[in-house]
A and B are shown apart, each in its own frame.
Chain A
Amino acid sequence: MAEKIDLQEIEVWDGNYAAAQAMRQAQIDVVAAYPITPSTPIVEGYANFMADGYIDGEFVMVESEHAAMSGCVGAAAAGGRVATATSSQGFALMVEVLYQASGMRLPIVLNVANRALAAPLNVRGDHSDMYLGRDSGWVQIDAFNAQEVYDMNLCAFRVGEHHDIRLPVMVHQDGFVTSHTAQNVRPLSDDDAYKFIGEYKPMDELLDFSRPVTHGAQTEEDWHFEHKARQHKALMDARPVIESVFAEFEKVSGRKYKRVESYMIEDAEVIIVALGSTVESARLAAQQLRDEEGIKAGVVGPRVIRPFPFDAIRDALENCKAIGAMDRSCPGGALGMLFNEVSAAVYTTAKRPLVTNYIYGLGGRDLAIVDIKAIFRELKANADAGKITTQIQQFIGLRGPKLAFFETREGK
């Protein structure tokens, strides 16, 4: 048996180390991994736990991220708990196997320290890799800080390994801002954490020779559609499972999580919808604007990106007047993902709040509180005018002349 670690009530961990600690407590059977900035310290931390006798499972350092996810798929099919970590280019290299992992319905937990995608090469945080995975069929959970990285890791195993779901789960954190910033984290004890996650219960495993199974069969036009539809259904069915896992987690930790995290939205006229650490910055900006300028500002942060919390987003946003959807990924000739999905959700409400799109923070460009306040003021102007007073999509924090795209009917 692996040795346990007697953790303090409050530890000072960065997001990467929080992930490594959660992985250790989960008593994973196989970690197959490959290092890449900024997620490298996760696998380094895990390697140190291995070297010091805190891990019973296998730790396989493979030759690429593609092989890391391939090894995870082979290991998961063999009926045990599996996890790994990556970022950016490594995530991109994994993409082929991400689709295979979800299509084969294998629970694997993937920690993603989000980082920009080249070119130009950039090691800093944005959400390009997160967005690249959005159609891969994985559950995607977003952590806004190191505590949440730890908490969401524990929850991710429960969600993915649930026998009604059996899907791989990503836990996202912002590269550097979260992954490398030491913060106070309140962990569960090793025993409590493992008790919460529970023992792995294999299903259709390669290593049960009394019942041979075929994994990764071929389907063409006769059956492919049915398989993909069932996969989508499993993702949609994950919504109540996630809620019940969060509810159970609250009982053991006292920390309450929802599929969509809302801040000061009850009376909010203007709301920013964002992901990652930006949610925390926006909360500060909203509070300051309420105090300083009386703007009724609120913040909505999707905790779960996939399955997209359409219902909870709609509920959170339907009573405000103007929404700023913040996308930290180059939209590639379209409106940002968050804009599109938030717009779809509020389009089904009676009042249809105004939605605009802000592209920000690419390649680790900082987004300051003043920038967020300026966005809130712009949203307030939209709310007061009853129409969008800017172009629909604006780039924020960019050098040089202002860049904005997509005009309203009135020509703004």
Chain B
Amino acid sequence: MAITSVKNLKEFSTSNDRFEGAHLLCPGCAHSMIVRELMNCTDDNLVISTNTGCLEVSTAVYPYTSWDTSWIHIGFENAATAAAGAEAMYKARKRKGTLKNPDAPVKFVAFGGDGSTYDIGFQWLSGAVERGHNFTYICLDNENYANTGGQRSSATPIGASTTTAPAGRVSYGEKRNKKDMLAIMAANGASYVAQVAPNKWKNMAQAFQKALSTDGPCYINAMSACTTEWKFDPKDTINISDLATDSLAFPLYEIINGTELNITYRPKNVLPVKDYLAAQGRFKHLFKPENAHVLEEWQKRVDEKWEYLQRREEARV
């Protein structure tokens, strides 16, 4: 059952699974919510490639697999290229008439964590997008290398304490702000770019469907709250996600053909960012008096980004 026909979460929870519940992801991990929704939002056949990372090591440990669809993993950095290669093969075989299911609609989807997307796989993603392969790349953005124990990536936000940029006696943790992958992908030539979050599940499904029905490369940055490394109770994943989207720490928007920016979710009551930060252990140290300036900096950057997004939306350029 495709998600277009799903009216509510109860129905969604009993919908047909191509991603099995039996996997090794942490309880409370948002990855499975995002993956499951992607796979339920289309009835088309899926070829999925996955970079090395939490999702991959938790779903395809021989002799088991959680994937009731065609799935491939090569390495940490090259899921985009694996999808591109499979897509090229599909085109060649379709033309030559050697496909077993020539009329079956097929979608190519690549998953990567933020480490493999923002850092080590950046070049492979950029190349595949530039070449215009017809595929959707979904970054499961939990803002750190969670699979290897919580090291910083270029998606780690300012002030977060990670195992390689820890908060300490003389440090408030991460000094850099996260890289703007959406702007980069839009400039790279992605036909459709969106930021989504699993708590806004219908919004997320719409973005997935737009991406899957768009010709050309699409990039989706999916916030994936990480119970283990963000340090919150596994039952609070959706609550934390609500705080992220409602404080605009994770604004939800899309960019069509590189220019047409639409904000896809406007919170009725915008919460202060400190409410989002205070709910997570990784930002606990920011509430010491000496780190007050980091909280101010956080709020300032969120405000500026929101202002920027609204101006881009108005300007249509």
A interface residues (Cβ-Cβ under 8 A, vs B): 29-30, 32, 56-58, 60-64, 66-67, 70-80, 82, 96-97, 100, 104, 200, 202, 205-210, 212-220, 223, 227
Q: Is B63 an interface residue (CB 8 A)?
A: yes
User: Chain B nearest CB: distance from A162 CB in Å?
Assistant: 19
Considering only CB atoms, which chain A residue lies closest to B110 in the complex? A74
The reply to whether B68 and A80 contact each other, CB–CB distance below 8 Å, is no
Q: Which of B60-109 contact A (CB under 8 A)?
A: 60-63, 65, 67-75, 77-78, 81-86, 88-93, 95-96, 98-101, 104, 106
Interchain Cβ contacts under 8 Å between A and B, 20 examples = A30-B85, A56-B95, A60-B85, A63-B124, A67-B78, A70-B124, A76-B85, A80-B92, A97-B75, A100-B74, A206-B47, A206-B72, A207-B70, A207-B93, A212-B69, A212-B70, A214-B60, A215-B73, A218-B61, A219-B62
Q: A64-B123, A67-B127, A74-B82 are in contact. Are A218 and B89 (CB under 8 A)?
A: no
Cross-chain contact B85 with A217 (CB below 8 angstroms): no
User: Contact residues of B with A, CB < 8 Å?
Assistant: 45, 47, 49, 56-57, 60-63, 65, 67-75, 77-78, 81-86, 88-93, 95-96, 98-101, 104, 106, 123-124, 126-127, 130-131
Task: Indicate which residue in A56, A70, A213, A219 contacts B81 across the interface (CB closer than 8 Å).
Answer: A70
Give the chain A neighbours of B106 by CB distance below 8 A: 207, 209
* Inter-chain contacts of B71 with A (CB < 8 A): 206, 212-215
The residues of B that contact A200 with a CB separation of less than 8 Å are 98
Expressed in whole angstroms, the Cα–Cα distance for A146 and B215 within the complex equals: 43
Partner of B74, one of A29, A60, A97: A97
B75 near A207 with CB under 8 A, answer no
Contact present for B89 and A207 (CB under 8 Å): yes
Residues of B within 8 A of A77 (CB): 72, 82, 85-86
* A74 x B84 contact (CB < 8 A): yes
* A-B interface, 3 closest residue pairs, ranked by CB to CB distance from nearest: A74-B85, A63-B127, A74-B82
CB distance A74 to B86 under 8 Å? yes
- Which among A104, A206, A208, A223 has the greatest number of chain B C-beta atoms within 10 A? A206
Q: Which residue in B47, B88, B98 is a CB contact (below 8 Å) of A58?
A: B88
Q: Which residue of A lies closest to B70 (CB)?
A: A206
The residues of A that contact B75 with a CB separation of less than 8 Å are 70, 96-97, 100
A368 to B232 Cα, complex, angstroms: 71
Least distance between A279 CB and chain B CB atoms (Å): 35
A78 CB contact (under 8 Å) in B81, B90, B101, B124: B90
How far, in angstroms, from A57 to B69 measured CA to CA in the complex?
Answer: 25
Given A73-B74, A78-B47, A212-B71, verify A32-B88 contact (CB < 8 Å): yes
Cα of A63 to Cα of B133 in the assembled complex, Å: 13
Candidates A30, A209, A215; contact of B88 at CB < 8 Å: A30
* Set of chain B residues within 8 Å of A207, measured between Cβ atoms: 47, 70, 86, 89-90, 93, 99-101, 106
Q: Which residues of A contact B100 (CB under 8 A)?
A: 205, 207-210
Q: How far is the CA of A208 from the CA of B252 in the complex (A)?
A: 36
Contacts A57-B96, A210-B100 supplied; 8 other A-B pairs, CB < 8 Å: A32-B88, A70-B85, A74-B89, A76-B89, A97-B78, A206-B71, A209-B100, A217-B62
Which residues of the other chain, A, contact B56 by a CB distance below 8 angstroms? 218
Is there contact, CB below 8 Å, between A217 and B84? Answer: no
Report how far A122 CA is from B125 CA in the complex, Å.
Answer: 30
Minimum Cβ distance to chain A for residue B104 (Å): 6
A56 vs B92: C-alpha distance in the bound complex, in angstroms?
7
Complex CA distance for A67 and B131, rounded to whole angstroms: 12
In the complex, which residues of chain A have a beta carbon less than 8 angstroms from the beta carbon of B96?
29, 56-57
Query: Considering the chains assembled together, what is the distance between the CA atoms of A30 and B84 in angstroms?
Result: 11
A29–B86 CB distance below 8 A:
no
Q: Smallest CB-CB separation from B73: which chain A residue? A: A216
Residues of B within 8 A of A227 (CB): 62
Q: Are A60 and B131 in contact, CB atoms less than 8 angstroms apart? A: yes
**Alpha-carbon gap, A70 to B99, bound state (A):** 22
A208 to B89, CA, bound (A): 12
Which residues of B lie under 8 Å from residue A209 when comparing CB positions?
45, 69-70, 100-101, 104, 106
Instruction: Please tell me which one of the listed residues B60, B63, B69, B81 contacts residue A71 in the complex, with CB atoms under 8 A apart.
Output: B81
Contacts of A75 in B (CB 8 A): 85-86, 88-89
Determine the distance from Cα of A76 to Cα of B70 in the docked complex, in whole angstroms. Answer: 13
Measured CA separation A57–B94 after assembly (Å): 10
Considering only CB atoms, which chain B residue lies closest to A80 in the complex?
A: B89
Docked complex Cα distance between A99 and B69 (Å): 25
What residue of chain A has the Cβ atom nearest to residue B61's Cβ? Answer: A218
Q: Which residues of chain B come closer than 8 Å to A223, judged between CB atoms? A: 62-63
Which of chain A's residues have a CB closer than 8 A to the CB of B89? 29-30, 58, 74-76, 78-80, 82, 207
